[in-house]
Each structure stands twice: as C-alpha cells, then as structure tokens.
C-alpha cells in the first residue's frame, strides 16, 4: 500500500496492534452536564447504594488479589481505606486507565467513568465513607481465568523463565519466538496470559522477518534464545509490524472473519514485555495466544503508521500544539479505493498530553476517530471500534497533539528541559497513530 504514512513508517518503529474496530453512526455518549445537581438529590451517599457498583464494574477487574494493580478494591473495607486516593485518581482521570473521550466512534470495552460517577466517588470520600445496608451491597463480580476468545490456535511461550530484580526502574525485555508454521498464515488476533501478574505491566507482539531480533538475542549461549533489553520506545530495530498487544484488564479482540494479518513462515515474533519491579526478585514466562483464520480472508490487514516526524518541542513551554494532515490516497494502482480501520493506537512518549485524530472526508464532513486526553506512557491501549470505520479514498487524517515540556510535567525526563524531537528513545518524542487497516477496491 502506498500511504504517505508508509514512507514515514520506514523510520518509525512498529508498535503493537491488536484488534478490531468500528465506526458507528455518530452517536455520542452523553456526558451529564450537571453531575453536582444530580448528586444533590441524593441525601446520603453509601457504599452499598452508590459506590460498590462503580468500583465493581470499573476497577476490580484489575484491583483484586492476584492482579497487577497495587491494592484490591473489593469490598467495603478496601474502598473505605483507599477512598481519598480513589477520589483523586478518578477526578484527575488517571484511573481507570482509559483515555479516549466519548466521541463519534464507540469503542469496545469503553471504560471511561461519567462525570456523575466521578462526582459520586468524591462525594462519598468527603462525606464519611458510609457503608449503608450491608445486605444490599452488590457482590464483586466473579472472574474466570482463561482465554476470552476460546482455545488459541497457537500457544507461544517465552523461550525461558526470565528473572527480574527486586527494585529499580521499569525494564523492557524482548523475547524471540519462532512460530511453528510451514505455510502463509492469517492471524485474526492475539491474547496474552502474563506469567506473573505482579510484574508484567504491558506486552506487545512485534513481527520480524529478517532475523534482526535473533541477532540481538544471542546471549551468552549464542542460541538466539536470550531475552534482550531495549528502551520502551522500540525493540532495537524497525520491526515489520505487530500482531497485537496487551495491558492489564484488556484482552485481545479478534478481527472480523473476513480479515487477517499475514504471517509468513520463518517470521519471528518479538514479544516485548514491560516489567514493573515488585520489591522482591520475581520470575516470569508470559504466553502469547494466536488466533488464526483457517482460510485466506478477503481483506489483508496491515499496520499503518500515521506520523508527524517533524515535531520540535521547545524547552520550558507547556501546551505546545502540533497539527499534521495525511491524505489517504483516492486511488491505488489506478483503481479507486476505500479504507477500513479496525483499530487505533495513539503513541507519544513522556511529554505528550493529548492526541486527537480526525477524519476529514472528501465532502468536508468530519469524524473524530479518537480523542485522547491525559496521555499516560504507561497505559498505551489499543482502541477497537465496535464496528470497523469505513472511510472513502481521499479522506484526510488530521493528527493533533499537545506536549508539555516544562518542569511541571511530572514525567519530564530532562533536567533542565531541552529541545525534544522525534526519536525512538523514551526520552525522545513521537506523534504517531498506529492503525490496523485494509484497502478496499471500489466496485
């Protein structure tokens, strides 16, 4: 395919992908305009009546025993103990880690809290954290461990059990896995079971058809089976693409039946695992599930990198805006084409604050594809529209991003702040939208 973005993709490391998407008729989730007024009609706010349901539905899938969130939010005692932190983290929209604003596209597993829910949690923390009637408390949901998409077609393991030290900075490790396939294979999605939920924060499965990962993974034994470390910005080279990604609380979505990502025999999967430190020495052997399309699907899905590599982020200035337009060509090889977008993964590094992608259609109408606020480098999610988004050829994708390069940015990596431009290191920056899409010839 011949997108402008493709030119750029040669200098951009591939990022993860996952799943699938859609566009919808532009229904918009309604924000409550007057959450405070609504709350005023409730006289007493209690855990049983008002709070348990919010925490159970939005938090405990990660905040429970055995998951990687730092404490459990199951039950009244835990909710009370953490009530102030809950109020702060939700009102700043740090938690839950879902950053897409309600807009023209509805996403799967949308986890944003409404303004009213946030106001409720805050009001509960500030009004004595009352319990209410114990018997009326909704019970925390039951979770089944296992694969959300059923038994995987290929189950791939990290080549060995990896050890992570007790303390220090987060580490990014890359493990090379060669899938046992002999024919071109169509991947419809991936999922991950982290080997150790105490430390596995995030996983991305990249593809490498040229053995570059193997060279980096020689290790002491020279067997190509050692993990190697990289910066969180990449895997040490520009991978061919990616099959999927995973973060706590998210599971991979599969592409529709008529679509797949081509995996050729001999192509390696580079499994990048982002590890937190837990305070003690830990081990991990994470598993990647791969789901296949048995027959060659109609649509060949590829990852495209829609990027603005020209960013220059001046030091000591907050609120720096960049805008970049990328046309999706109306024709390819002389044929008129349309595009179908299956998912969207915005990507910036530590100075990023927000990113918005808007489709400007040939008839000049606009559709906001994704509007991400409160960017958090530690929570890079793949956003999957419920229904894939179809865009006519000739549509312009407009990317808008905002950066804060001051000492007030808590993630500021430089002291003092310095001019920051595009680059792969975490301390460089990016303005990138990764999207799984397909080109559809017009009839």
Binding site for ligand HEC (CB under 6 A): 58-59, 61-63, 68-70, 82, 85-86, 89-90, 94-97, 113, 248-249, 378
Supply the minimum distance, in Å, between the C-beta of residue 195 and ligand HEC. Answer: 16
For ligand HEC, the closer CB: 237 or 411: 411
For ligand HEC, the closer CB: 197 or 414: 197
For ligand HEC, the closer CB: 130 or 440: 130
For ligand HEC, the closer CB: 92 or 136: 92
Burial of 200 (0-12, 13-18, 19+ CB in 10 A): buried
Dihedral, CA atoms, 190, 196, 202, 208, nearest 10 degrees?
Answer: -50
Look at the chain and count its residues.
Answer: 443
Supply the minimum distance, in Å, between the C-beta of residue 250 and ligand HEC. Answer: 7
Sign of the torsion formed by the C-alpha atoms of 176, 182, 183 and 188: negative
Supply the minimum distance, in Å, between the C-beta of residue 149 and ligand HEC. Answer: 18
Question: Could you check whether the bond before residue 407 is cis, i.e. omega within 30 degrees of 0?
Answer: no
For ligand HEC, the closer CB: 86 or 389: 86
For ligand HEC, the closer CB: 122 or 240: 122
Supply the minimum distance, in Å, between the C-beta of residue 118 and ligand HEC. Answer: 9
Supply the minimum distance, in Å, between the C-beta of residue 94 and ligand HEC. Answer: 6
Token couple for 284: 């991990």
For ligand HEC, the closer CB: 91 or 300: 91
For ligand HEC, the closer CB: 52 or 391: 52
HEC-encoded secondary structure of 128-147: CCECCCHHHCCCCCCCCCCC
Supply the minimum distance, in Å, between the C-beta of residue 127 and ligand HEC. Answer: 17
Q: How many CA atoms lie within 13 A of 217 on its CB side?
A: 26
Q: Which whole-number Å values give the CA distances from 11 to 95, 234, 298, in the listed order? A: 33, 12, 29
Residues 6 or more apart in contact with residue 184 via CB below 8 angstroms:
262, 263, 264, 265, 296
Q: What DSSP element (H or E) covers 36?
A: helix 35-40
User: In angstroms, rounded to a whole number, what is the distance separating the alpha carbons of residues 142 and 343?
Assistant: 29
Supply the minimum distance, in Å, between the C-beta of residue 381 and ligand HEC. Answer: 9
Residues 6 or more apart in contact with residue 443 via CB below 8 angstroms:
none
Supply the minimum distance, in Å, between the C-beta of residue 121 and ligand HEC. Answer: 7
The DSSP output letter for 65 is T
Supply the minimum distance, in Å, between the C-beta of residue 203 and ligand HEC. Answer: 13
Helix axes 115-125, 83-91, angle to 10 degrees: 150
User: In angstroms, rounded to a whole number, what is the distance separating the alpha carbons of residues 320 and 406?
Assistant: 10
Question: ∠73-74-76 over CA atoms, to 5°?
Answer: 95
**Look-up of token digits 């396939």:** 181
Phi, psi of 75 (to 5 degrees): 85, 165
User: In angstroms, rounded to a whole number, what is the distance separating the alpha carbons of residues 232 and 378?
Assistant: 10
For ligand HEC, the closer CB: 157 or 373: 373
For ligand HEC, the closer CB: 72 or 320: 72
Supply the minimum distance, in Å, between the C-beta of residue 93 and ligand HEC. Answer: 10
């Amino acid at each position: 395919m011949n997108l402008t973005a493709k030119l750029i993709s040669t200098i951009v490391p591939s990022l993860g992908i996952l799943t699938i998407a859609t566009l919808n008729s532009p229904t918009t989730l309604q924000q409550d305009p007057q959450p405070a007024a609504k709350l005023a009609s409730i006289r007493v706010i209690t855990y049983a009546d008002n709070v348990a349901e919010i925490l159970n539905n939005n938090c405990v899938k990660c905040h429970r025993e055995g998951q990687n969130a730092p404490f459990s939010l199951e039950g009244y005692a835990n909710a009370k103990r953490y009530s102030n932190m809950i109020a702060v983290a939700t009102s700043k929209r740090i938690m839950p880690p879902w950053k897409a604003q309600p807009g023209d596209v509805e996403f799967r597993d949308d986890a944003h809290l409404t303004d009213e829910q946030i106001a409720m949690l805050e009001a509960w923390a500030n009004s004595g954290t009352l319990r209410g009637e114990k018997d009326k408390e909704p019970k925390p949901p039951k979770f089944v461990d296992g694969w959300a998409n059923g038994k995987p077609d290929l189950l791939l393991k990290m080549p060995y059990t990896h050890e992570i030290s007790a303390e220090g900075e987060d580490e990014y490790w890359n493990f090379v896995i060669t899938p046992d396939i002999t024919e071109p294979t169509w991947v419809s999605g991936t999922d991950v079971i982290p080997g150790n939920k105490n430390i596995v924060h995030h996983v991305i499965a990249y593809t490498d058809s040229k053995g570059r990962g193997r060279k980096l993974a020689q290790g002491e034994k020279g067997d190509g089976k050692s993990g190697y470390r990289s910066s969180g910005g990449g895997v040490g080279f520009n991978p061919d693409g990616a099959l999927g990604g995973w973060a706590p609380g998210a599971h991979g979505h599969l592409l529709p039946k008529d679509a797949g990502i081509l995996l050729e025999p001999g192509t390696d999967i580079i499994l990048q695992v982002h590890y937190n430190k837990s305070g003690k020495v830990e081990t991990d052997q994470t598993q990647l599930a791969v789901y296949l399309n048995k027959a060659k699907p109609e649509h060949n899905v590829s990852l495209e990198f829609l990027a603005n590599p020209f960013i220059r982020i001046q030091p000591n200035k907050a609120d720096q805006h960049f805008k970049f337009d990328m046309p999706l060509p109306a024709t390819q090889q002389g044929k008129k084409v349309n595009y179908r977008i299956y998912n969207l993964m915005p990507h910036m590094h530590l100075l990023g604050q927000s990113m918005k992608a808007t489709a400007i259609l040939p008839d000049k109408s606009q559709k906001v594809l994704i509007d991400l606020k409160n960017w958090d480098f530690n929570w890079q999610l793949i956003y999957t529209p419920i229904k894939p988004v179809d865009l006519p050829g000739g549509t312009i994708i407009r990317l808008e991003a905002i950066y804060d390069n001051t000492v007030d940015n808590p993630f500021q990596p430089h002291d003092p702040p310095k001019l920051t431009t595009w680059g792969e290191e975490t301390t460089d920056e990016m303005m990138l939208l990764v999207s799984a899409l397909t080109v559809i010839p017009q009839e």
